[in-house]
Structure 1
Amino acid sequence: MTEARITKDVFGTLPDGREVERVTLRGDGGFEVRIITYGAALQALLVPDAQGRVDDVVLGHDDLLSYLKLRRFFGATVGRYANRIAKARFELDGQEVRLDANNGAHALHGGPDGFDRKLWQIVATEDGAQPSVTMLYVSPDGEANYPGRLDVRVTYQLIGPMELSVTFSARTTRTTVVNLTNHSFFNLDGLAAGTDTLDHRLTLAADHYLAIDETAIPLAGPPHSVAGTPFDFREAHPVGARIRADDAQIRCGRGYDHNFCLREGSGVRFAARLASPRSGRVMELHTDQPGLQIYSGNYIDATVSGKGRVYRQSDAICLEPQVWPDSPNRPDFPSARLTPDSVYKHETVYRFSIAGASV
């Protein structure tokens, strides 16, 4: 009898008595993906290294209470609008939409109670060579002051031996804005190693990035060229090689916390490559989105722990495919507008492989 590639268990119970489920998808060689219905979050991602040792490569928690106590977006599905909207407001068809600010004067990752804080519903699972789970959340019209009821689905599917596809779709009853992403924090050394990610080598398919002000809102004007700056990852560089450069933009982000403008193209295409010389693990990210937010874990400050360790600055790096930040206020940016006669779609593929380890 063939062993099931997908299983389900109870991860915990919310204060109101509702159960949070966990779905496990199994690939080859110990590759394993665990998703919880709280926040439709990637709770664990087990990947073998060059020696065949399997370890978890994403920050998170082993218990539900820790997710509830402190909001850090570990592995979460972020929405209704990922990243920042300046001054928590925008105009839509001549009408002002005012949001709830939760990042100084700005709205961040859907506001104080975004999709990462919601209990999603499992609506489909599939076993077999490419196991998958689909989760649904229905955001009411006016939730967080966003117009339109939004029906959102996210599907996690193993499409190769060590290849994870994350696909989002959404429909609205009124014209609105939508920008969804997965907010996983990656450390390809594996969490058991206890190391940071500053030696991880990063390559980006981006010739430009968005410069920001001191509150992380994109500056007026066109994107900035990466040439001659610490933001040039067109060829592989260690994440930490220039993270303390005397550069105004590095100071604004306290490291990297910037949107990189991906090269134009159709469909799912190469966006980034992250490689650990220590473990030999390599992750390629392919997406159909126009931007990739790179966050080097600058504000992880040892106030939170999980999976048996305290999390500190640069212990992980986020690669968040999305529409550019503050697009609802920037007609010169890619649009986040969604109308009732259209469907929001977003697909990202995480492709893992093994290279030789140096230690």
Structure 2
Amino acid sequence: MKTTRDKFGTFNGETIYKYSLENDNGMKLSCLNLGCIVTDILVPDREGKFENVVLSFNNVDDYIRYQTYFGAIIGRVAGRIKNSEFELNKKKYLLSANEGKHHLHGGTDGFHEKIWNASTFQTDQEVGVEFTYTSKDGEGGYPGNVHIQVTYTLTNDNRWKVRINGTTDETTLLNMTNHTYFNLSGNGKTDILNHQLTMKSDRFLELDEDLLPTGKIMDVEGTVFDFRHGRKIRDGILSPHPQNTIVGNGYDHPFILSEKKEAIILKEGTNGRKLVIETNQPSVILYSGNSLKEDYAIKEGVPVRKYLGLCLETQGFPDAIHHPHFPSIILEPNQRYMAETTYTFGVE
């Protein structure tokens, strides 16, 4: 097990560092103190070949310029907030509108572009990085001073553990996630259309034309949203279902998880790579990369295109503040926000 730190670039006059974690099996995870961005996850295929299974850039400028959220921590609130406003304790709060009239992924002042304090740690069986950041009262339009701790841990059994803790001194909203784009083909060699996904979910949230939840909870039965027995991502891209076409032909939907253990399994049949995800969060956003632009390239030099990667964003329900029947994302001063997700990499 080992950790290293190298200079990656600069942002707003401050040095951005790349922290690399490596276990005894040769699996390696690298991340930045800019947005807690994950730049590399190197894992073997069934032949033992190590390749990067996440989409990333090789410089700071590209992360800022292209706004893909590749690998970043998202907050204060992941997803969209309708009309960039909400009400708490009879007081109205206005947020920055960065997607039409709506607020997306923390807006123009989100956690994905913050420089975090970072420190590494190591034991016999794991290595990790602990990131901390204090979001001041009024940042992004949100109330309360919120202290966040994000911990990335790499274990000797090829698990990447993400733990997010948060506290506030005033009633506020908090619903965070990691926005890594996975591609198990390795180094972006192919798109993700033939990735096989299995999810323990029998319901998903209906979206409107602005990709906001309508409040209606839909049954997956008989649709291409039924991943309970596994299906290829391609099914949703080719589907004429209105919910697939409304998001640009594919998926960008919150799935309600019915079980936490082995809740999500992603496989790439050609090389045998397998990813198993477990979480304490109530839902996962499956995003199939429908809106990826085509005028830039990832770090391996592969041109970006639709469906080059997919996101599995474990989190609370999006826009929950406007839907009282959704699980609450309100955080009180006497509470602690705790989100945990584990990604286990293997082959079969």
Residue in structure 2 matched with residue 155 of structure 1 by the alignment: 151
User: After superposition, what is the alpha-carbon deviation per residue over 1:275-322, rounded to whole angstroms, capped at 9, x for unaligned?
Assistant: 001111000010000010000000112122121111111011100000
Report whether the alignment pairs 1:245 with 2:245.
no
Report whether the alignment pairs 1:10 with 2:4.
no
For 1:227, the aligned partner's letter is: E
Match of 2:36 among 40, 50, 71: 40
Answer with 48-57 or 124-133: which moved more: 124-133
Cα distance in 1 between the residues matched to 2:93 and 2:220: 34
Cα distance in 1 between the residues matched to 2:12 and 2:214: 42
Cα distance in 1 between the residues matched to 2:323 and 2:182: 30
Cα distance in 2 between the residues matched to 1:161 and 1:7: 20
User: After superposition, what is the alpha-carbon deviation per residue over 1:239-278, rounded to whole angstroms, capped at 9, x for unaligned?
Assistant: 1024221111011112100000111x6xx53321000011
Q: State the shift of 1:160 in Å.
A: 3.6
For 1:22, the aligned partner's letter is: K
Report whether the alignment pairs 1:202 with 2:197.
yes
User: After superposition, what is the alpha-carbon deviation per residue over 1:106-138, rounded to whole angstroms, capped at 9, x for unaligned?
Assistant: 111001121001101114533532111100111
Cα distance in 2 between the residues matched to 1:343 and 1:303: 42
Structure 2: where are the runs of 5+ without partners? none
Report whether the alignment pairs 1:225 with 2:219.
yes
Match of 1:261 among 256, 262, 282: 256
Match of 2:185 among 189, 195, 199: 189
Counting aligned pairs with the same residue, the percent is 36
Q: State the shift of 1:21 in Å.
A: 1.1
Cα distance in 1 between the residues matched to 2:18 and 2:25: 21
Cα distance in 1 between the residues matched to 2:247 and 2:62: 27
Cα distance in 2 between the residues matched to 1:196 and 1:124: 34
Question: Are the equivalent residues in 2 in contact too, given 1:260–1:292 (CA < 8 A)?
Answer: yes
Q: Judging changes above 3 Å, is the alpha-carbon distance between structure 1 residues 10 and 127 closer, same or farther for their aligned structure 2 residues? A: farther
For 2:289, the aligned partner's letter is: G
Aligned counterparts, 1:86-101, within 5 A = 86-101=82-97
Report whether the alignment pairs 1:61 with 2:52.
no
User: After superposition, what is the alpha-carbon deviation per residue over 1:185-238, rounded to whole angstroms, capped at 9, x for unaligned?
Assistant: 00001025x2000000000111000010111011133x1000011100011111
Cα distance in 1 between the residues matched to 2:215 and 2:133: 35
User: After superposition, what is the alpha-carbon deviation per residue over 1:12-62, rounded to whole angstroms, capped at 9, x for unaligned?
Assistant: 12242x111111111243210001000011111101001100000000111
Q: Normalising to structure 1: TM-score of the pair?
A: 0.94
Q: State the shift of 1:67 in Å.
A: 1.4
Answer with 307-316 or 268-277: which moved more: 268-277
User: After superposition, what is the alpha-carbon deviation per residue over 1:336-359, rounded to whole angstroms, capped at 9, x for unaligned?
Assistant: 01111111000000001101xxxx
Q: Normalising to structure 2: TM-score of the pair?
A: 0.97
Count of residue pairs brought into register by the alignment: 346
Question: Are the equivalent residues in 1 in contact too, given 2:109–2:139 (CA < 8 A)?
Answer: no
The 3-state SS of whatever aligns with 1:68 is helix
Report whether the alignment pairs 1:341 with 2:334.
yes
The alignment's C-alpha RMSD in Å is: 1.3
Residue in structure 1 matched with residue 75 of structure 2 by the alignment: 79
Question: Are the equivalent residues in 2 in contact too, given 1:87–1:101 (CA < 8 A)?
Answer: yes
Residue in structure 2 matched with residue 350 of structure 1 by the alignment: 343
For 2:198, the aligned partner's letter is: T
Report whether the alignment pairs 1:25 with 2:25.
no
Question: Are the equivalent residues in 1 in contact too, given 2:5–2:20 (CA < 8 A)?
Answer: yes
Cα distance in 1 between the residues matched to 2:78 and 2:344: 23
Structure 1: where are the runs of 5+ without partners? none
Cα distance in 1 between the residues matched to 2:138 and 2:12: 25
